[in-house]
Structure formats: C-alpha cells, structure tokens
Structure 1
C-alpha cells in the first residue's frame, strides 16, 4: 500500500500546478510518511493553452492568442528517521508561480488584442523543515517552518496608459511561515486521515514602477500575503491491493492581492476591482481530489484520480483569466529494491472566465496538460 500512496501524492501535486490562484505545489509534508530514511527528486512539465477574445462588433472579436508559457517544476526532499518515534524532513519546492505572456503584434480580427505584448512573472522557491512525532501506531503530530523567497515583475501595454506602457519590478524577499497538523492511521487497512494547517506568509516588497517607454522610475512599497490553507488528506484500503485516496483543501485566496501603489492610483472603471489591483481573488477556494490506486504486481502499481474546483461568480484579472477547474490524472509507480519511480499525466479543464474592464475579455474552452516523474531511494 505504501507504493500506491506515493503515486497518489504525485497525482495530487500535478493537479495543483494550475488549481487555485497561482499555487503550483502544496503538500511538502507528504514525505513524512515514507518509511525509514528516504530521498526523492521530482520534475514536472506543465503545458497550458489559455486563449480569449474580446468582442468588438457582432461576429467580430479580437483574439488574445495563448497567454500562458509552458513551465517546469522541480522538487527535492529528504526524510530521516531520528528514532522509532521521531522523523525529520527537509523539502525544497516551488509553491507559487506565474508565467504570463500575451503574444505581441498578434492580429485576430480588425486589430490586435488590447494588451498584446503584456507579460508577467512570479518566482517562488521554498525550503520547509518538518518533524513528525508518533505517539503509537495510530496517532501522530507533525509541524515545521517554511522559508519562502519570492519576486515578480510585470509589463503591460495599453493605449489607455500614459505612454502606452506600465512596468513594475519587485525586490526579492524571504519570509517565514509554519505548518502544523495531526494524523490517525490504521496500518492493517492502509487507513490514514490527516489534517494540516499552513500559515499565510507576508512579503513586504520594495517596488519600482512607472508608465511610459522608460519605466520604471517610481519607488514604493507593497505588501503581498500568500494565503493560509487547511488540508484534509485521506486514504484507505477498500479491497485487496486497492486504495481509495483524496484530499479536500481550503485556501484563503481572498487575502491575496497584488496592488502596486502607482498603478492603483490611476483608478479602475470596474466595480469588482475598485482598488485597481493587478491580481486579486475576491473569493476563497476549495479543491477536491478523489482517486483509486491498484497494485497489479509486486513491482507495479497504477492509479487514476479526478479533481474539482468550483468556479466563482466574479471577473478575473487579465493576468490570471481562469475560474475553477476539472481534472483527471493517470499514473503509475515501479519499485525495485530500494528504488521507486513514479510518473503521472494530468489533463485539466479550466473554468470559463471574464476579465476586468476596461479590457473585458472572455476566456473559454481552455485546458492544460501536466506530466511529472519522481525518483525515490530508501537507505
């Protein structure tokens, strides 16, 4: 059952790559349930297709082209058994990110999309150090500290801006958060139910921003809070060599807001974006994943899972125009002696979205394919 558990966690991580705001990974604590001493390396490739259009006349629209860049995810984890009751783990991952690029000069219809050429990037790297203490074979608690380093930049082109261009760059900031949780297990039926809280992390950025060809020129400050979350993870054997698994995850995305002071000062014509935020999410998000794993041979196990995130009733930023999602993931895990290799592929269907005025685009029928592989070694 432990091999089925490993591939199920890989599947849930793959789905996280495009679920809920800018989150790309979410469960660094999962490695704590590996047996003994263990090290792993993971790699994922995410290939999104996100296009929209802006109607300008009956039967005539301006097309955006594909605005999301393909990106890769890497992760590294080490888990060490200090004694029979206490485990230590250290994980490097990339929990948040964005790679937006509206094709420049693309003409679809009578003119280019209003913000053609605009682009934005968010980079986040994190190291999480955790301990897990087992009271007995059933009950355990876990917790740790996370250091997260984040930076970002954006460049927007629009004839409504002074000089037709806005640009902003942030400083690189490193700040800390924590996680804490507990779990109940019954090893005889591969049952585990765990609840984990991860705190918000606040970054106080120095920003340089400005309008026109020579931007940025103005220095300022901006606070951004990456959201707190609460996750219920569960699994149970339901038949010989068959595992049911899943998770229910809540995130406070309503606390996430990127509002540079100079950009905000030009105001907004959209009542759903009164502060003229570059990116915000006025609703919190709940994501559900549910799957089945099956051990086919002594060495090979497979799984399939589905994911769902409800669309909310609000318009979105032009730098994140999707709203909710549905997903399916298929994967497998091969073990040989101390080695374990897991892989999976996810297909994710974006929910339709309408973006803020004055560039009110409609983004529909979009999707993403994500593939991942993880190599683990027990020692």
Structure 2
C-alpha cells in the first residue's frame, strides 16, 4: 500500500572543514509506512531551526490475472490499479533550551495507504482502502563531552491518530452491493536513543528506538445497504522500530552516510471488526463468532538498508545521491515486495540561515503473486482474491525549506 518515503536534504553541520552533507534518504518502507519517524532536525547546531517539507509519491503498481473467491472469474475485469499517488508533509522546529539541551516539536504523517482498484475481480477483497495518520511529537536530547566528540542522550513522546476506511463488494447478484468500514483510533508512544558526534569531521552515529503505539480504542461504523452499524476493532498496535544511522566526512567536501532500519510490522496480521455491544457475547478476535469482517494485512517485519555520498560544491550548493533497498512486508499475500530506489537531490543556501532543498527518486517494485496465506493462528487470508503483479516503477519528488538563527 505504501511505496515510498522520500526525505529532504540533511546538512552535516560541519562548516569548519567545508563538509556540508546533502543526504537525500529515499526509503520505501513496507507495511503502512509513509513518512515514518524523523528526528534529524534535533541535531542542527543552530540555537533555533525550523523546517517544512513535502513529498509527492507516484507508485505505478498494476494488478493482473485477478480472480475472485475460489478462483472464480466474476466478470469484473482481471486488471486494476494497485496504488494511488499521495503527499507526505512534515513540519518541525528545534530550539536550544540551555547549553547542551535541545528540544524539537514536529508534526508528521508516519502511516498511510491508499489503494483504489475499483470494481475488479478482486472487489470482494477491496474496492478502495484509504488509511491516514497524524503524529504530534516532542523530542529532547542532552549532550556531553566524551573523548574527541560529544555523547547525546535522546528521549521523547508522541501522540498518534490513525483513521481510514475500506470498501469492498458484499454481493453481486441480484444487484451489486458494497460495504464500507470507517474506523478511527489513537494512542501514545515514546522514543529513546543515543548518538555520538565529532563535528570537526562531520561524524555522527545514532541509534533510536520508537515504541509501539497501542490502539485499544478502535471504533467506527459499518455501512451496508441495510444501513449503518456501530463497530469496534480488536486491540492492536502500530509497530515499534529501531534505526541505526551513520555518517562521516571522508575527504574535503565529501560525506558518506548510511542507515539500517527494522520495523516490527509482523505485529499486524488480521484485525477483527465486531459490532458494538457484542462484548457481552464474546471477545473480538479473528475467528470470533461475533466478527463481521476483518482488516487482513499478514505482514512480516520490514528491513531498510540505505547508503550514499554527499558533496559540497561551494558555500551555496551541495548535492547527494543514495541507493536504498527495502525488504517487502508481503510474503504471499499483498503486493509489498522488495523495492530498490535510487535518489538524488540538491540544497541551495542563498544565505547562511536559509536552505532550500529539492530531491527526486526512481525505484523498482519487484514482481510477485498474492494469494492465500495461513497465519500462525490458522486464519487463512486471501481466500477472496488472487492476482499477479510485475516489476513496476515508483517515482517521487520532494521539496523543503529550512530557516535557522
């Protein structure tokens, strides 16, 4: 569902050796990830810095050879569009509270998905799914001298809202009938990490853990031709993650950088949806007698590995290029297979306190097949549709502005 996250350019913050790193980080992460989590602004050496950026992602995933339940041809078409274009915004501000203590607040949209194949042979599984999120975070750090550099301890909290809808075909004869599930939820999370920096050589190593966000208040409405019904969802969580980032100056004007990220997407298998009030009859879980439908994801854990080179041409211009690999979270059900992405970007600094950034990326989403997958609890997802997909392209553009004092 989600096909690419494209970050703007990150300055290395080392001007004494003319090493300004411009690190565009296009990371197509699987699962429901869009913007993910980003605290790079916290490391800006300025007493105050603010930035805003937006990314427009254009995945070109195509379904083919689609069949309905039991391998039947429903006569609705064997091909469909497997992804929709989307925007990913982010805005943040960082301030040096006192010497050695920095704090940052930011708004982002870490999770999301939008697939709208319409009326096709797989319509019993999905006509349209649209999931969105809002994340409000506060993160602080304390740094102290350690050896040749500085050791930084990082901590923060974030409040997250996740919401969306799914439409699917519930009857074809005697008339076409569809059902729609609208759901919303929210929860809190926290982060903790550590970093070590040697500004003179633009060296930075950081390791940050972001906690799960428990969604134990999922509720909404199921709408069918009979009318709306109040529903609630099985308790679940958005995933925790760990990310290791490294960067270092390697020659005058040159910076190397890379990252490894793990996301616990295997948390999300099948989320049961039950009618309000059914709690007095039975608990809501996959296979429960009160379950009316479910949101099937059947993910495995996600891994993203990235590496690149940045170069500063002069005081105004710098650029970077990067190659990323993301292990798809789908493994037999869904279309999130491995993705390879090549990205590049430039940063223009007309004044020392203003930076304008523009980046782009192109990637290949590898081919595969979606069918029946049986989970650890014996539940079989994918019985309502099967389809193939080839090697498809994804492109993205990103722009950003940073102002600091």
Q: Which residue number in structure 2 is paired with residue 291 of structure 1?
A: 308
Structure 1 residues 138-157: Cα deviation after superposition (integer angstroms, max 9, x where no partner): 21111100111111110012
Residue 98 of structure 2 is matched in structure 1 by 83
| Residue 93 (structure 1) aligned with residue 108 (structure 2) | yes
* Correspondence 1:208 to 2:236: no
| Distance in 2 separating the partners of 1:315 and 1:160 | 27
Tell me the TM-score normalised to structure 2 length: 0.80
Unaligned 5+ segments in structure 1 are: 105-111, 268-274
Match of 1:53? 64
- Following superposition, which runs of at least 4 residues in structure 1 exceed 3 angstroms of deviation? 3-7, 60-63, 158-164, 262-267
Deviations 1:93-149 (A, max 9, x none): 000011111134xxxxxxx43318700111101011011111124211111001111
RMSD between aligned residues: 2.9
SS in 1 for 2:364: strand
Q: TM-score, normalised by structure 1?
A: 0.85
Is the partner of 2:234 in helix, strand or coil?
Answer: strand
Structure 2 residue 364 is the aligned partner of structure 1 residue 349: yes
Counterpart of 1:365 (choices 361, 381, 391) is 391
1:295-334 correspondence to structure 2 within 5 Å: 295-311=312-328, 314-317=331-334, 321-334=335-348
SS in 1 for 2:80: coil
- 1:184-223 map, 5 Å: 184-204=196-216, 205-209=218-222, 212-214=224-226, 216-223=228-235
Distance 1:135 1:118 in 2: 54
Q: Secondary structure, in 3 states, of the residue corresponding to 2:191?
A: strand
Q: How far apart, CA to CA, are the structure 1 residues paired with 2:330 and 2:157?
A: 35
- 1:324-366 per-position Cα deviation (integer Å, ceiling 9, x unaligned): 2110101011112210011110112112232223311012222
Q: Which runs of 5+ in 2 are unaligned?
A: 1-11, 276-283, 371-381
Distance (Å, rounded) in 1 between the aligned partners of 2:262 and 2:51: 27
CA distance in 2, matches of 1:52, 1:99: 15
Query: Matches of 1:316 and 1:218 in 2, distance apart?
Result: 29
Q: In structure 2, how many angstroms separate the alpha carbons of the residues matched to 1:54 and 1:169?
A: 29
Q: Indicate how the Cα distance of structure 1 residues 121 and 258 shifts in structure 2: closer, same or farther if over 3 A, else same.
A: farther
Paired residues of 2:21 and 2:319 also in contact (CA < 8 A): no
Aligned length: 354
8 Å contact kept, 1:225–1:257: no
Corresponding residue SS for 1:167: strand
Question: Relative to 1, partners in 2 of residues 1:235 and 1:266: Cα closer, same or farther, differing over 3 Å?
Answer: closer
User: Counting helix residues as a fraction of each chain, which structure ranks higher?
Assistant: 1
Give the corresponding residue for 2:374. Answer: none
Comparing 277-286 with 330-339, greater Cα deviation is found at 277-286
Q: Is 2:295 the counterpart of 1:278?
A: yes
Paired position in structure 2 for 1:242: 254
Shift of the alpha carbon at 1:371?
0.7
Give the aligned partner of residue 245 of structure 2: 233
